[in-house]
Structure 1
């Protein structure tokens, strides 16, 4: 019983980690900078992995998507690739972890489930979650 409870807790924690990593993909404020005037902030520049925006002192925003993937800076390309790989590997790792748990009926005998669970752990380690 304790073994099954630890499997379920580990699965829930790993899926919640995957959800948190997935929620960082559409986040807007990865990089924020501002130009200050003498009294007020005149413009705020902010960007994420997909677009860059400017907000002026009146609150009007102007956003522009990145025109080309090849024109991006290297660290943005690396972040995009690593985050997409982490979300993909974490998804497949959670599916294999669900199949490999002893409390599920799919996945075959216990020896096969142990191999599936080890593979899901490898995917989680590779995803960095």
Structure 2
């Protein structure tokens, strides 16, 4: 049972890591700059991401614009984009490999259903004890 719990826990953490990698690649908040015009009140906030720039002004909605040309991007931004795309691909492949490892591990696919039932029963018993 401990092996099954570790497999399912690893699968859950892998899924969370994959979603986190996708989210970090997509959000425009890689660099945030706030412009204040001589006082404490923020006049304008600029978000720069891998794929777009966004500008937010108080009282107005958020305006985002995708980069016009891939060729006009600075080299570090191009490198960040390539590395994050590679990280997303590797995260998806690792998650699929983890799913295959859990489903068709050493014990075979029939025992995996029993493993999932054991983990589900363990969670039903332990989560109320943790106050969740």
Give the TM-score normalised by structure 2. Answer: 0.67
Show the counterpart of 1:11.
11
Higher normalized helix content (fraction of residues): 2
Instruction: Single out whichever of 35-44 and 82-91 deviates more from structure 2.
Output: 35-44
Structure 1: runs of 5 or more not aligned: 107-129
Aligned length: 106
1:18 Cα deviation from its structure 2 partner: 1.0
Q: 1:91 to 1:33 in 2, by over 3 A?
A: same
Q: Of the two, which has the highest radius of gyration? A: 2
Which runs of 5 or more structure 2 residues have no equivalent in the other structure?
A: 111-132
Distance 1:76 1:104 in 2: 45
Change (3 A) 1:99 1:60: closer
Match of residue 48 from structure 2: 47
* CA-to-aligned-CA distance 1:83-123 (integer Å, 9 cap, x gap): 111111111111122112326529xxxxxxxxxxxxxxxxx
Tell me, yes or no, if the aligned pair for 1:98 and 1:104 is still in contact at 8 Å: no
Q: Name 1:22's counterpart in structure 2.
A: 22
Match in the other structure for 2:109: 105
